[in-house]
Structure 1
Amino acid sequence: MKDVKSQVSKGGMPGKGGLNAEIQSRIGHQLRAMYDDVVRQGVPDRFADLIRKLDVPQGGAAGDPAKNNGRE
């Protein structure tokens, strides 16, 4: 128990439950690294195919509201 108290008093965490700047910085670096990894993975092919299918009009002329459920 003394170890925890000594770490808090040495700048591990300030009083009232806040995080010090060093801990916030470490968390920020780790979150950026995780986010960058996700972005590098890109969109899976099956999702790209679904998006393409949604972009294609389904039957009928685009200008005829009766054939496209009122969407323009």
Structure 2
Amino acid sequence: MKDAKKQGGLSAEIQSRIGHQLRAMYDDVVRQGVPDRFAELIRKLDGPEAAAQAARASDEPSKNTGRD
């Protein structure tokens, strides 16, 4: 194969820039966390056992950073 640039590939510099931008976007989304209504829905879908466990966990101080 010839040079990747000639075949439409991206240079290492462009790939690096895209990677940095994607990481920045992802970090922003992670920092937003999960809305309470979604967390409650997930607990309901997990069933009564998981809901009871989540209720016990909510009584403890929260250490959730949104990166679970």
Shorter-chain-normalised TM-score: which range?
A: 0.5 to 0.7
Greater Cα radius of gyration, structure 1 or 2: 1
The equivalent residue for 2:58 is none
- TM-score, normalised via structure 2 length: 0.59
Identity of aligned residues (%): 80
Count the aligned residue pairs.
45
Structure 2 unaligned segments of length 5 or more: list them: 50-68
The equivalent residue for 1:35 is 26
- TM-score, normalised via structure 1 length: 0.56
Q: Tell me by how many angstroms 1:41 deviates.
A: 0.6
Q: CA RMSD in A?
A: 1.7
Structure 1 unaligned segments of length 5 or more: list them: 1-12, 58-72
The 2-side partners of 1:40 and 1:30 are apart by 16
Q: More helix per residue: 1 or 2?
A: 2
Matches within 5 A, 1:5-24: 14-24=5-15
Greater RCO (CA < 8 Å, at least 6 residues apart)? 2
